[in-house]
Structures are given as C-alpha cells and as structure tokens.
Amino acid sequence: MKILVLNSGSSTQKSALFELEHDASVDPVPPPWEGKLEWNGTKQDRVIRNSRGDEIRDQAETPAERQVSIEEMLRNLWSGPTAVLGASSEVSVVGHRIVHGGPKLTQPIVVDETVKRAIANVSEIAPLHNQSGLRGIELIDKLLPNTRQVAVFDTGFHQTLPLPAKIYSGPYEWYERGIRRYGFHVLRLSKLSAVTWGTDVHWWRLTAATVWTQLWASHH
C-alpha cells in the first residue's frame, strides 16, 4: 500500500510517500521518497530525495503561483531522477493534514465536495493553513483524479473537551458563532482506517498511526 501524505502549510509544503504492508508496525518508517518546498519572501528552497540517495536541491524565485512548484515537486515522485514509482496510478491513497475542521469536521474523513466546502467555511479561523490545505486537495484532484483522499484535522483530537474548557471568558454568543477553544497540533489517528477503506480495520489503524506519526514529525 503506497500512501502519499501532504502537509500544506502557509510557508512550506512537505510531502512524503510511505509504503506499508499488512504487517506494518506503528513505529515510524522511513519514507522511500520525500519532498519539501519552503518559501521565504521572494526565495524558494526545494529539496527532494529518495531512499536510494538521489537528491534534488535547488533555490529559485518564489513563483507567482505556488501550485506550479508543488505540482513539479510531486511529479518527481514518478518521473525524474528521484522517482520511486513507475506511474502516478501506483499511489493508493493520499492523506492531507488540515489545520482546522471547525465544530463539524471532528474525525478523519474521505474528501468529497461537501468536505471541501466545510473546510472552506471555517477558513476564516485559519485562513493561511486551510486555504493551503484546500489547494493541496485540488492539486491531487488534478494529478491523481481517481485516488481516494482523506483529510485529518489538527482540531479533531480535542473535540471531547468539556464545555467549560471550550468556552472563552467572553460573551456566550462568541461560542455560538464558533469562536471557542479548539486545541491544535495533535492529529487524531483512530478513525482513518474505517473511513479510508472500510475493511481490515486493524491494519488500517496501524497504517494511520504510522503515516500520521511521520506527518507529525515532519511538521516540527
């Protein structure tokens, strides 16, 4: 099972491919391919490497549309000197780290048009990160149109906070408008198995833990 993970941030784009078998453990596994773009003003740094030791490392001007650079980076997964796949169709599923799910998107979920709208609807709370996440989803729609995508939300883990802990010390109408304490930087793992495939839940839970543990590590 080949799983591509996208971590779309406000100033970076980190991607990695993980290849997991049915007996995969929950311990982190090294990715056979990974890429990173970092934008700092007008400067773009790019690093792409694979497990064979092949590497692309360069610097360029930040393009007007970052999507162009992200697409070029991802294409190196199946073409070019760092390619580890024979074709893009070998990717089994794509996982996206989305910073904010708001009050409704509390569990990992297969991406469809309704989910995209829901992510967009709470983008005011995390405008830079959520918009970047949506652009990552749209790019995968273009590059891998028949591949299932799953969104996992930083805010999902803390959805069980008791009500007094969620509410800020301000007017209650803030809470009614969705302004509340959500909690960030923790990815909920336990449900990716069921929503992604619907079968072999134990293996998918291990897969989720492995992939998102790696994603959490790459975020820091």
The Cβ-side half-sphere exposure at 121, using a 13 Å CA radius, reads: 13
CB 56 within 8 A of CB 48: yes
The dihedral region occupied by 148, where left means phi > 0, alpha psi between -120 and 50, and beta the remainder, is beta
> Measuring CA to CA, which residue among 175, 165, 200, 10 is closest to residue 102?
175
Of the candidates 27, 54, 154, 200, the residue annotated as catalytic is 154
> Measuring CA to CA, which residue among 1, 28, 4, 7 is closest to residue 16?
4
- The answer to whether residue 154 is catalytic is yes
The radius of gyration computed from the CA coordinates of the chain, to the nearest angstrom, equals: 18
Query: Which residues are tagged catalytic?
Result: 154
